[in-house]
Amino acid sequence: MATILVFLGLNFWSNQLDDLHIQDVKIYNTFFAMENGKPTFYLYGKLKPTFASYSGGAFTQYNNSNGGNYGWNTSKNNVYIDGQQTHSPFGSKEVVFRIKSDSKEGLTLLNQNLYLTDHHHHKIKIYDARTRTQPYSIDQKDTHKFIKQNKIQ
């Protein structure tokens, strides 16, 4: 009986949502792509610690003010992306964010700096709007090429 209670307690703890911690994420690639004529930003990464797993499937959002496993906050010049994780050692380690440009939501993306953030106020700059560079990008470190190819202003 005690074993079952311990198992249930560990299972409950491991599946609780927690804010994604910046130190837990290894970013593999970021890039822009066109979807329905709008620039869309992608981030691919992996969680490092044993007791961390990404909550939810790829391309979903968690239920915050923006609706569904990640969300964002915007200011005039910046977009702050935040996510959630669980503590299951058996969950998915893959982290995928997809954010579509939407001027109604204040997301102009190419004209804003993009940051991955956590609740401890740590942040990683993943796109610099002034220089139009992505330090974690494999193919698009210079985003000017993307803009020219897609004739974006």
What does the pLDDT look like over 3-28, one tens digit per residue? 765 555 555 544 556 667 778 788 98
Q: What is the pLDDT of residues 34-86, one digit of tens each?
A: 888 889 898 888 877 655 555 443 333 433 443 445 678 888 899 988 877 76
The residue range of the domain holding 59 is: 2-149
Closest CA to 105 of 135, 64, 146, 136: 64
* Tokens found for residue 64: 């915050």
Counted domains in the chain: 1
Two tokens, residue 138 = 């494999």
Please report, for the chain, how many H helices and E strands are present, in that order: 2, 9
CA 42 to chain centre: 8
Which of 30 and 63 is assigned the larger pLDDT?
Answer: 30
